[in-house]
Chains A and B, each alone.
Chain A
Amino acid sequence: MNPWTDLGLVDLGDALLDRQIIGEDGTVVGKVDDLELRAEGGTYVVDALLVGPEALADRLGGPAGKLLRRIGRGFRARAPQRIPLNAIRRIEPAIVVTTAVAQATNSPSEDWLRRRIIGRIPGARRASR
């Protein structure tokens, strides 16, 4: 499902980049850190949203980008996560994707911290009341 079929020009930087991505069930996925483009017949087609420190690092450049890439590598995130464009349900202004895709797009650093540190502290399973 492509939400832009009936629109004219779309500024990708404004409409997609750096927006928050969430699942239909409210799962927080991340930001649109970059876009994956595919060359097709002399033009480019947006294939997927990219999420992850490596994708953001490429856009930041400089020492900050380098640091971010190093941190990403520390958590063994090799390539950024891809969210195919057809997983997008609506834009409101956060980008809402299907629950299945949202839950499949996990963050290596979050998983590692959950398993090794935060999840081991007593009370980590209970929201504060």
Chain B
Amino acid sequence: MNKRLLAVTLGILTAVGGFVDIGDLVESGVVGARYGMAMVWVTVLGVLGICVYADMSGRIVAVSGRPVFDLIRERLGPRMALLNLAGSFLITLLTVCAEIGGVAIVIELASGVDRLVWVLPIGVLIWLVVWRVGFERMETGFGLGGLAIGVFAVAVFFLHPDWSSLGAQVAGFAPPPDQALPTYAYHAVALFASAMTPYEVFFFSSGGVEEGWTVKDLPVQRANVLLGFPLGGLLALAVMACAATVLFPAGIDVTQVSQVVLPVTLALGTAGLVIVLIGIFAATFGAALETGLSSGYMLAQYFGWDWGKRRAPRNAARFHLTVGAGLLLAVLVVQTGLDPVGLTEISLIFSAVALPLTYLPVLIVANDREYLGEHANRRFSNAVGVVMLVVIAVAALAAVPLLIFTGAGQ
């Protein structure tokens, strides 16, 4: 019993630490600095969405033993599924770039040596972990490391914020009077996409296969999602609150990752800085692994190749080639010196465009009784799922027009 409790706790903590990646960090910081806590509702909405859909994909895997993308081609046919694959694959590669950029900037902040020096070594290190380290060990290690981001929550208290004004901002919803509505909407879309990043569903369901979930694992998996992801969302809100306390009143816009970290240093000194850098390193490195693997998962599951870390690489040659080539491409893109914050925002906006591609098939398959039998969606999951899909569709349609109209949120 105790062992089981430990396993559940470990799973939840891993989900908490694994929730935050470069997208959540940057966009929560940007939004907190610009609008205070006025966008808490967006994060809450995004967390609700990812919980409902992660639960669905978890059920699909546990019952059918097949990951989500595997079933998309069967349900949508090869052409629609190929379109879906192309979109999701490009977005995921873009996210790999953003995560690698994040790892590089953390090492720059820690070492003082320019981030472009670190890009290639980081790429090699990620590949080595993909090649050598087992799935569960990888997930637990980086998930627990990511918990160090919780230092943002500690920092909020040490900053002695004016709680009533933060509360008023949360309840205010609307942008401050001096801020334009389109820019507010642009950042709302990006923040929403940061919580619902598409790769999470592919990774989550493929991970279920790697770990060999069955129907017996459903309660544990559900606890991981329904407790882990909301707690992870709280970490993102802590990042936002730090920015809202320090940067928002001073009128500072976040253009660099170092500004997101600044409030922690102010509150907790060098010790805080060390912990937060460890946390961000673990979170972004872990996310780089997850996105890198996801690119391979998608392609392998569309074409029916053997895949996964539970196989010896020579028995999943095409999968490993895809992951390796994707990482190499991402390293080359980051090496050109693109600004990490800008790269993250672009990856979030295009993720928003691709969101319906990811989530509609999940909803369709989760209603398929041939695969799920009695575990098919009930009325509640479908109601929340459909409402979220409407929100997702609005965000997807608005994303590119807002990007152009606001000049990327300026």
Contacts and interface: CB of A to CB of B under 8 A. Distances in A.
Interface of A: 13, 17-21, 28-31, 51, 56, 59-60, 64, 93-94, 107, 109-110, 113-114, 117-119, 121, 123-129
A9 to B, nearest CB: 16
B306 A28 contact: yes
Given A30-B304, A64-B82, A125 B321 contact: no
Given A30-B305, A60-B82, A93-B371, A128 B320 contact: no
A113 B300 CA distance: 14
Interface stretch (B73-81, B197-205, B239-247, B256-264): B73-81
A70 B370 CA distance: 36
A31 B370 CA distance: 19
A127 B313 CA distance: 7
Contacts of B305: 28, 30, 107, 110
Interface in B84-118: none
B133 A128 contact: yes
29 contacts: A13-B77, A18-B73, A18-B78, A18-B81, A19-B74, A28-B305, A28-B306, A31-B304, A56-B78, A56-B303, A59-B78, A60-B82, A93-B64, A93-B66, A93-B371, A109-B318, A110-B305, A118-B313, A118-B314, A118-B321, A119-B317, A124-B314, A125-B312, A127-B134, A127-B310, A128-B133, A128-B135, A128-B309, A129-B134
A57 to B, nearest CB: 10
A110 B310 CA distance: 17
Contacts of B131: 121, 123, 128
Interface of B: 64-66, 70, 73-74, 77-79, 81-82, 130-135, 137, 303-307, 309-315, 317-318, 320-321, 370-371
The 7 A-B residue pairs whose C-beta atoms are closest, nearest first, are A31-B304, A28-B306, A113-B317, A30-B304, A118-B317, A129-B134, A124-B314
A110 B305 CA distance: 9
Given A117-B317, A118-B314, A121-B131, 4 more contacts: A28-B305, A30-B305, A51-B304, A119-B314
A102 B70 CA distance: 19
Nearest to B127: A121
A59 B80 CA distance: 12
Nearest to A61: B79
Contacts of B78: 18, 56, 59-60
Contact of B132 (A21, A30, A93, A123): A123
A18 B66 CA distance: 14
Nearest to B76: A18
Contacts of A31: 73, 303-304
B223 to A, nearest CB: 26
Nearest to A127: B312
Given A28-B305, A60-B82, A128-B134, A113 B66 contact: no
B133 to A, nearest CB: 6
Main secondary structure of the interface of A (DSSP, over half): mixed
A127 B309 contact: yes
Contacts of A119: 314, 317
A101 B77 CA distance: 26
A127 to B, nearest CB: 5
A48 B134 CA distance: 38
Nearest to A19: B74
Contacts of A19: 74
B313 A20 contact: no
B63 to A, nearest CB: 11
Nearest to B75: A18
Contact of A114 (B65, B66, B317, B371): B317
A21 B306 CA distance: 11
A64 B79 CA distance: 9
- Listed residue (B134, B135, B320) with the most chain A CB atoms within 10 angstroms of its CB: B320
Contacts of B70: 20
Contacts of A128: 130-135, 309-310
Contacts of A123: 131-132, 313
A69 to B, nearest CB: 14
A113 B310 contact: no
B87 to A, nearest CB: 13
A104 to B, nearest CB: 16
Given A64-B82, A128-B135, A18 B77 contact: yes
Given A18-B73, A28-B304, A31-B304, A117 B312 contact: no
